[in-house]
Amino acid sequence: MSGGSGARLEGLEMLLTNPVATCLSPTVHYMVCELGFERKTNHAINTIVSEGGEIYWKTITKHVQYKESDHDVDYIKSVRSLGPLCESVHLHLQSFAMDQFQDLFMVWFSWTNCSEVFVDMFDALKSSCTTAISLCLMKLTSCLERALGDVFLLIGKDCPFLLRDLLTSQELGTIFGQSVMDVLKVFIGSPDGLNLRNILWHGFASPQEIPVKYSSMLLFLTVGLGQLLKNYLLQTQSTLVHRSCVSFTNLQELHVFPDLNHELVSLAENLAINSSIVLRIMLPFWITALTSFKQNRYADCIILLLPQLESGLRLLFTTVNKCPSRLMTAESFSLYTTLDEILAKELSNEEVNQLPLLLGESRMAFLLDFLNHQEGPRVRDHLSHGEIRLNDFPREIANSILAFSITLLCRFSKDNIAAVEERTVLEPLMSCANSYCFQFHPIAKLRKQIMKCMKTIALWSDLPKVPEEQVQEVARSEKDTSAIPWICVTADIFALLQPYLSQNVTLNPVNSLFTENLLIELCSKHVCILFCPRSVLGIVAVLRQITTQCHQVLSQVISSSEIRYAQWMNKSLRSRQRNNYLRMRRSIKLLSPVLQLILILITLELVHIHTACEKNHSEYQQYLKFLKMILRYMENLVTYTSAEKNKWEETVELTHKTLINTRTFLEKQLTLVQLAQ
């Protein structure tokens, strides 16, 4: 750790000397931990639920209180009134054995499509383990949110992304009744209420701060919702359809750290105990997360770990930015300090966020890749919104997130990993964390697309060729298009780009292996990716569209060529089709250098992408217009080269026109690579 970083972390030492007792603000702590215990009223359980397990909603909803001024829910009065009711429900559930509970209530969890989560919750309630109860409550709220979204879609179209918006929707109010939705808002749907989901998922609540009776009540309410839903489905003759779960692809991309063994995970327990970023009140979460990984319960591990990772980063954030009060939950009229702000470039007051400087680009890249970027796994979003089947959570992702977390524990260890043997064991993990590069940022994705296109172009040279004597026999009446003027234009463009390339590029022929090596060299050049300006991302988006269309052209030409070759060889092509196939073969020879040229140009522009910030608005729009011209060319090329169209003469004309426009733009010295020079 640098001297500057050490100085910025002096506040952590003070926190360790004076341990944080809670991350809940006084108002939230009172709401969650005290308010529901003020009244000692006893409620007869037979007024809440029948012997057959039917929930009496009227008994529950009458405890929701409303403000006289605007008829909104009065959350303070509602929690105070519901508290004793929750206690009665909790004691009632505690009286059941597992088989009794399942016989009476299991059928009412099927609407959630994850009944096992609710059984686990009951089991945790019986064990009275606060960490297990908190874990189950996080899983329950995410599954409940997903199920409520499925119900919303019975009559609604676009399901709200946020739970609070879902619970205030007219659609759910119509299906369940508004008073029922108000009950849920008290527990999980409003920052003015108990807000149990958010204070757990964002790492504010410690295990002992969540009253167990509220978990029992949410289990109970889920049963009641299932009963109401059944009545609605019978009345409307509707069928509840569950949306498909999110499944992670390309797991090899997501497996970026060495496999963790028991030795490393056991070492992580010691690191957690001695790390500056682990609050003592949160330590049970860390220990249980590590235990879960050892037991191959990967979803449980990450559900517990992500909020604690956020909590630890928040501790660093509030320390280096000198805003210690933001370690706690905000009041209802302001936003919590969550990962979005913790990982942002600037604070809300537009001052520079010091945390990215402390963590470094590699660690920021990992966090943004795995948690934020739209094309990344977005693990926390998918888990917290119930979009992942928990039993199928991949070890690869769990391994990467846990390994990364261990490197943070190590980096901010009080002991600074003094033990030599620990340093040796951790070295491979630290090395990976220090060298991690963006994978899911748009610029990183563009690089991958460019190389994918180049590898596909290389396959063109291996396409099967019809014997020359057969070609000559069929093609006698076909005019030769190989000498068309656009070869000269292509040569001109290569010449204009030559000063910006490290090696000479020759047009005839363009060696695809050479081009691939050139693109590898260009793509390896450093481009600042962290916190890209919007103007840069706008250009990257168009470049990605171009490469997407380019790959489509390349792939369908390969497919069409192979099909036509097979048909030629088995003599199933008519005369006109044979001539068209020959035109395609000649066009492939001409298109290959053009597409390679476009990839080289795109890659050069990417290397100098931040030069776009130097363009004024008019120049920027003119530049985008040029890129969109190339994009339209690619889109038309997709159409012309499709098996349905097979318009090869039109392809030649379109290519010639596009090349002339490209040469004109390059001659005006308006590209980013030219501006950078």
453, 489: one domain: yes
Of 481 and 408, the one with more pLDDT: 408
Residues 330, 429 within the same domain? yes
pLDDT at residue number 3: 44
Judge if 389 and 457 occupy the same domain. no
Q: Looking at the predicted structure, is the pLDDT value of residue 19 above 80?
A: no
Query: pLDDT digits over 409-440, tens only?
Result: 999 987 654 454 466 889 999 999 999 999 99
Residue 27, Cβ neighbours under 10 Å: how many? 15
Residues 272 and 293 in one domain: yes
pLDDT, residue 364, reads 97
CA distance linking residue 353 with residue 650, whole number of Å: 54
Q: Which residues pair with 66 in a beta bridge?
A: 73
Model pLDDT for residues 512-553, shown as the tens digit of each residue:
788 888 999 999 999 999 999 999 999 999 999 999 999 999
Q: Does residue 14 lie within any of the structural domains?
A: no
Residue 551 and residue 463 share a domain: yes
Last residue of a domain, one of 435, 462, 480: 435
Task: Using the 3D structure, point to which of 182, 212, 236 is the last residue of a domain.
Answer: 236
Distance CA 163, CA 643 (A): 47
| 448 in any annotated domain | yes
With a pLDDT cut of 70, the percent of the chain lying above it is 92
Distance CA 165, CA 167 (A): 5
Alpha helices in 527-574 (DSSP H): 534-569
pLDDT at 390 over 90: yes
| 24 is a domain residue | no
Q: For 24, which DSSP code?
A: S
Q: Is the pLDDT of residue 248 over 80?
A: yes
Residue 588 is predicted with a pLDDT of 85
Give residue for tokens 């105990």.
273
Q: What is the pLDDT of residue 420?
A: 44
* Residue at 501 is within a domain: yes
Same domain, 256 and 311: yes
The domain tally of the chain equals 3
pTM of the model as a whole: 0.91
pLDDT in tens, 547-600: 999 999 999 999 998 988 888 888 888 888 888 888 888 888 889 999 999 999
Does residue 562 belong to any structural domain of this protein?
Answer: yes
| Among candidate residues 435, 463, 482, the one where a domain is terminated | 435
The answer on pLDDT for 105 being more than 50 is yes
Cβ 478 vs Cβ 584: under 8 Å: no
Residues 55, 220 contacting (CB under 8 angstroms): yes
- 577 and 522 co-located in one domain: yes
* Structural contact between residues 79 and 194, judged by C-beta atoms closer than 8 angstroms: yes
Residues 282 and 384 placed together within one structural domain of the fold: yes
Q: So what's the pLDDT on residue 7?
A: 46
Helix and strand numbers, DSSP H then E, in the chain: 32, 0
Cα 131 from Cα 289, distance rounded (Å): 10
* 15 part of a folded domain: no
Given a cut of 80, whether residue 651 has pLDDT beyond it is yes
Would you give the end-to-end CA distance of the chain in angstroms?
37
| CB burial readout 583-615, b (16+ within 10 A) else e | bbbbbbebbbbbbbbbbbbbbbbbbbbebbeeb
Same domain, 653 and 552: yes
Say yes or no: 303 and 447 in one domain. Answer: no
Task: Print the domain residue range for 123.
Answer: 38-236
Mean pLDDT, range 268-295, rounded to an integer: 94
Collapse the DSSP code of 671 into the 3-class scheme (helix H, G, I; strand E, B; otherwise coil) and give the result: coil
The answer to whether residue 633 scores a pLDDT higher than 90 is yes
The whole-number pLDDT of residue 644 equals 86
Question: Is position 4 within any domain?
Answer: no
471 and 357 share a domain? Answer: no
For the chain, the average pLDDT equals: 91
User: Do both 332 and 405 map to the same domain?
Assistant: yes
| Higher local confidence (pLDDT), 476 or 668 | 668
Query: Quick check: is 28 in a domain?
Result: no
